[in-house]
Amino acid sequence: MNQEQAKERIEELRKQVEYHAQKYYDEDKPEISDFEYDMLMVELRNLEKEFPEFQSKSSLTQKVGGHVKEGFQKVTHEVPLQSLQDVFSIEEVEEYIAKIEQKAEENNMEKVMYVVETKIDGLSAALEYKNGEFIRGATRGNGLVGEDVTENLKTVKTIPMKLKDKIDITVRGEVFIAKDDFEKMNQEREENEEELFANARNAAAGSLRQLDSKITKTRPLDIYIFNVQKIEGKEFNSHYEELEYLSKQGFHVNPIRIYCKTMKEIEKAIEKIGEDRENLTFGIDGAVVKVDDLKFREILGTTAKTPRWAVAYKYPPEKKETKLKEIICQVGRTGVITPMAILEPVKVAGSTISKTTLHNEDFIKEKELKIGDTVVIQKAGDVIPEIVEVKKDKRTGEEINFEMPKQCPVCGAQAIREEGEAAIRCTGIECPAKLFRNLVHFVSREAMNIDGLGENIIQQLLDNGLIENIADIYMLQLEDIASLKKNGQKFAQNLVDSINESKQNDLYRFITALGIRHVGSKASKLLARKYKNIDNLMKAEFEDLSQINDIGPIVANSIIEFFSQEQTQDLIQKLKEAGVNTEAKEEENIDNRFEGKTFVLTGTLENYTRGEASNLIEKFGGKTSSTVSKKTDYVLAGEEAGSKLTKAQNLGVTILTEAEFQEMVRSGTGTNIPFLDTFGTGLSS
């Protein structure tokens, strides 16, 4: 592709990406799948990298920072970001409105108008624009001083980087995560065995305060603007008018704003928002009543903490009693078995609840739950239903104790709970509930390294019934794969070649691919080196395994439990029959130049990932560690190295630059080693 062609394609891609981003984020009417959108972004990003002369700050690819900061800079707000006075009853709202009306009468004001808005449950932020371009964003902080989160806010796709008018303006908004997005996030975190977010507000706040904007970019943050903090060269008479103006500038403005003249209308607006809150796509924690007239606001003024021209009505949390009819267990993609409460349907906060998660065995014991109990249900953060109380005084004696299963309810394999963990897991490698995750791991780069077999293709193979277990990968035919893509012959041939090539992998890759709990690539290499083939490893005894350095009793137990499963034995037999190598290859030209040396890696390396650098170190007999201590021999420091580098300097540990490390790798035995090609990265020295 020449320069002119690249320019045309980049411009075309930017238009497509902007169009589909608007359809997805602004209009909620996506016309293409998430995957197709991601592929457009990947192509655009690659072309901008190949032709840097066409890079632009306005491109959607430039809305993310690329480095980790040690901490946030502080921002002093020119106009304080105050909090609102909360009230908890309509009577308190009436009292507030009466005071406003009295103040208006004292100042000979005409009829006061009000705007009632949703109080969005998120994190407040100020956005600054200079000459119509976004220059800085900050959290509310203590109202006077906040944190500079500009790079993170650039990842929020609903924040315009450039306004229609070339104005100097500071606006305030609420950063939040929509209900559906929050549920998806927690579902993914549960599947990945990560700690769940307590509520959407905490998730949004934690996401916006990430030191690495790459992490923030993965979070589905959104924002609604609800106030003009400061503007130059333009004046407004009313709050409603300024919101209309902000909307025309490209901001996402709080969508629920009801114009009111009387207390009766205000009460109806609050009731209306309360009735509709379950149908809103975002979480709210109240309704805000604001004086509309901006000049009257100046007369009303503020206290040290709150404006006198607005008040926040908080809806009371709703709780309902119902019966716990049954407890069933679901199996997630990682094999975690989660108990689920089946309830007599009950309406809470506008939605009907018939089931809720019970998290784990400890939660059930802590609440002393029994099947048949009368329980109290509440929606946490107005999103997630949860059992908050057991009404023990309503027990009849017919309630039944519950015990977590000893076998997986999906495949029947042994279910275990390891010491120190709350989760109970299925151990079956062929369990249908775990199949997708097991497949993704099996073909991954550190495992069987089957190039081209990504998550999307795996899902298509499963959806089309072309594979039902891991071994079926090696039964795939050229025409099966080609059918997944239009004109997919070349792709299919490349994938078949990669699958066949993976049959010759060394034993350690095969062990890694099996996904034995606690056994990563490092432990797999130790096991392959000691046992030489998979049959010997399958027969290994606890005493023998636990004496291997870096294995220990926990890992040894995990290995024995894994190979004792019929599903494991069945899969390995199928893979053998498919021609997959299960023998360790002879190590040629053994070079232990790093034997007895411990390395710690920190920062970003230019020529390879940390995993690739670790492979090199282990290849030459060394070890890697995640922590720096007096026993550390070398710290390999890349760009943006942080606290580990500082600690190494304080302890007097030898610090290597990437260039020095490369020289050690190249010159160790006097030969010029193609240090990266050895590990299949496609790079060389």
Tokens of 294: 């901006």
The CA-to-CA distance between both ends of the chain, in Å, stands at 27
CA atoms within 13 A on the CB side of 127: 31
**Under 8 Å between Cβ of 193 and 336:** yes
Catalytic residue among 63, 119, 217, 370: 119
Going by their DSSP bridges, the two strands 623-625 and 598-602 should be labelled as parallel
User: What is the chain's alpha carbon radius of gyration, rounded to the nearest angstrom?
Assistant: 30
All residues at 6 or more sequence positions from 231 whose CB lies less than 8 Å from its CB, including other chains: 167, 168, 169, 170
Structure-token match 């294995």, residue found: 551
Give backbone dihedrals phi and psi of 254, rounded to 5 degrees, phi first: -45, 115
The CA distance from 155 to 409, in Å, is 41
DSSP string, 248-259: HTT--B-S-EEE
Q: Assess whether 347 carries a catalytic annotation.
A: no
What are the Cα distances from residue 547, in Å, to 147, 443, 538, 555, 619? 51, 30, 16, 11, 22
Tokens of 3: 């320069």
Q: Smallest Cα–Cα separation from 481: which of 463, 498, 460, 502? A: 460
Q: Where are the beta strands (DSSP E) in 547-649?
A: 598-602, 623-625, 634-637
Tokens of 480: 């099966």
Question: Which residue type occupies 294?
Answer: L
The CA distance from 74 to 144, in Å, is 10
Structure-token match 């009849």, residue found: 396
The CA distance from 170 to 151, in Å, is 17
Q: Where are the beta strands (DSSP E) in 69-168?
A: 74-76, 86-87, 114-120, 123-130, 133-139, 145-147
CB count in 10 Å sphere of residue 139: 24
User: Alpha helix locations (H) across 249-293?
Assistant: 263-276
**Under 8 Å between Cβ of 489 and 542:** no
Helix (H) or strand (E) holding 655: strand 654-656
The CA distance from 214 to 211, in Å, is 9
What are the Cα distances from residue 499, in Å, to 123, 479, 496, 607? 48, 15, 5, 27
Q: Smallest Cα–Cα separation from 598: which of 648, 638, 658? A: 648
Instruction: Report the catalytic residues.
Output: 119
